[in-house]
Structure 1
Amino acid sequence: MRVLVVGGGGREHALCWALAGSPLLTKLWCAPGNPGIAEVAECVLVSATDIPRLLDFAEAERVDLVVAGPEAPLTLGLADACAAAGIRCFGPTAAAATLEGSKAFTREVADAAGVPGAHWRRFDEPAAAKAYIRAQGAPIVVKADGLAAGKGVVVAATVAEAEEAVAEIMESRIHGAAGATVLIEECLLGEEISFFALCDGTTALPMAAAQDHKRVGDGDVGPNTGGMGAYSPPPAFTDALRDEVMATIVQPTLDEMTRRGTPFRGVLFAGLMLTASGPKLIEFNVRFGDPECQVLMMRLRSDLLAALLAACDGALTNFDLRWENDPAMVVVMAAEGYPGTPRKGTEIRGLEAAARIPGAQVFHAGTALRADGALVADGGRVLGIAATGKTLRDARDAAYAAVDAVDWPGGFCRRDIGWRALKG
């Protein structure tokens, strides 16, 4: 199989790393890729959102399968373009990708399917949104309706904080057109879990769960980020909860999307809150999470390429996914200034030493090569340092030992990834 992965971050590095081990693979490309991905795939200098050029490349190179990493190319119609050209694409059509492209659409689908979730209201005018916030009180959640690179959600502890979020999203447009509409939602209480299921349009196959750490600072303080680290499996997410989520959230959504004439194929990422009254939906994403993908790929024992093909071909009914029992953890190393304006161009050394730590794996997320060949930071989240271990504590110790082997004064990380599972 000749495979093209689309994207250039840590998630795509993890996907390429896993795909590279498939006995079905004959050639692997990644567009645009990064220096770490270049170690396992041939990088192609085409933007992840340049659908015409991606399709031209796929046709010229006789690509058998396109794997979409980020959400943007999916919402722009990458899967539709591939289907028109007769090329398999792992990922939903643009219409089905609206599950991530519009949070209001997700809520409408969830309500129609009877999926449990937060009470919500949609607003197109900031004054009305602020009035509703004052009437409801805090804590309360403010969400930009459109795509905001994982940063369009504010969990406001006070009314003033929520009103400020509305002003920034709708009036200052810090997320651009994504903030033309906002959702104001009930603040759900409990443990937040990321759960993933492979879908072939009809059948949903449970994958695994992870727990992400969104806030930038230790102890879950500071602004939200794209994710500062994750671990899998989270002890709070039992097999019984998995079965309940599949029955009450994932399968009903899949059925409702089919009823609407937009069947969902790809990976459905359900952001969940484990509340006192059961699991509830926070939001859907239509791709693997980042950094959750890194720990899922570290634990996956099955052939990833075979699984993606089964999802594309409607053949998940009898497919068996196998996972390592050993837990995995990933610690994100970010550039100074993140999640604001990151400092780019700082040199990174010591990755070879980090990779020598038993159980460790280094994933590149935002790196580049300088003209002299030195590796430098080229983004906000720059590295994902992952590791497995017999216990979560062992995985944590190995991950942080690898972090400490990295020589990068211009970077930082959280030092408490996994704290919920390891406290006490």
Structure 2
Amino acid sequence: MKVCVVGSGGREHALATVLRRHHEVVVTPGNPGIPGSVATPATEIDADLYVIGPEAPLVAGLADELRAAGKLVFGPGADGARLEGSKAWMKEVLVAAGVPTARHGTFTEAEPAFAFLDTLDGLYVVKTDGLAAGKGVIVTTSLEEARAAVLDYLSGDAFGDAGRTLVIEEGLTGPEVSVLAICDGTNAVALAPAQDFKRVGDDDAGPNTGGMGAYSPVPVADQSVIDAVMNDGV
């Protein structure tokens, strides 16, 4: 089987490495550290299976385009990817479905955003609504820094149109765990939990990145945690 992996990061490097054990693999656009990288767009590559890693091409509808051409694709269509592509819309879905989530507000103007920040208890989370390569989140105990982020986001100076709508959340404390599930639209199967370290510095310091590294399994995420996520969130 020939597999086309779409992406250029560490995630795609890992996917390609595992898939290459049993299949022919090509990666687009890849990077110099990933064997089999090509510049050819996925839509111009003839493969038996397409595995799409990054959020941006999923939100843009690449999976839909490939499926429309009769291709076998691992990855959600644009409708499903919207959960990642719009944090504001994702929050609406969570609330409507009764899924537990942090107290939050969505804003397109500064003054209402500032007023909401004033209601929080001292840990502030400011997020771009749109995609920002994993960097569009500020977690801070400084009200001044949170207000500055609001202005930077809404003006478009920080992340362009991705930040002109923003989501503010109450800060939550505790270990962060990612539980991913594979779903066919009816059934869902959980993968092993992972813990992502997003801050640029040691000891979880500095601004967020797209991810400095992750590991799995996660000792704090036992089966009871997985069951709770699957029952309440998936």
CA contact (8 A) 1:30 1:44 kept: yes
Counterpart-to-counterpart distance in 1, 2:203 and 2:220: 19
Q: Which residue of 1 aligns with 2:4?
A: 4
Partner of 2:42: 54
Gaps (5+ residues) in structure 2?
none
Establish whether residue 236 from structure 1 lines up as the match of residue 233 from structure 2. no
- Asked if 1:108 corresponds to 2:92, the answer is yes
Pairwise CA distance, 1:9 = 1.5
**In the alignment, which of 29, 33, 38 is matched to residue 26 of structure 2?**
29
Q: Give the counterpart letter for 2:14 in structure 1.
A: A
Unpaired segments ≥5 residues, structure 1: 47-52, 251-424
**What is the Cα deviation at residue 137 of structure 1?**
4.5
Partner of 2:139: 155
Q: Identity of paired residues, percent? A: 51
Normalising by the residue count of structure 2, what TM-score does the alignment of the two structures yield?
Answer: 0.95
Contact 1:64 1:87 in 2 (8 A): yes
Matched, 1:43 2:37: yes
Higher relative contact order (CA 8 A, sep 6+): 1
Write the distance in 1 (CA, Å) between the matches of 2:42 and 2:228.
39
Aligned mates of 2:121, 2:142 — CA distance in 1: 8
Per-residue deviation, residues 128-173 of structure 1 (Å, max 9, x unmatched): 2112212334212111100010011111202111101101111253
AA in 1 matched with 2:7: G
Q: Which runs of 4+ in 1 moved over 3 A?
A: none
1:127-276 to structure 2, matched below 5 A, reads 127-250=111-234
Deviations 1:260-284 (A, max 9, x none): xxxxxxxxxxxxxxxxxxxxxxxxx
Are the equivalent residues in 1 in contact too, given 2:156–2:164 (CA < 8 A)?
Answer: no
Checking the alignment, whether the CA contact within 8 Å between 2:8 and 2:30 is kept in structure 1 is: yes
Q: Where does 1:345-424 land on structure 2 (aligned, <5 Å)?
A: none
Q: Over aligned residues, Cα RMSD in angstroms?
A: 1.3
Q: Which amino acid aligns with 1:83?
A: R
TM-score, reference length from structure 1:
0.54
How many angstroms apart in 2 are the aligned matches of 1:216 and 1:35? 23
Equivalenced residue count is 234
Secondary structure, in 3 states, of the residue corresponding to 2:191?
A: strand
CA shift at 1:243, angstroms?
1.1
Q: Which has the larger radius of gyration?
A: 1
Does residue 1:117 correspond to 2:111, yes or no? no
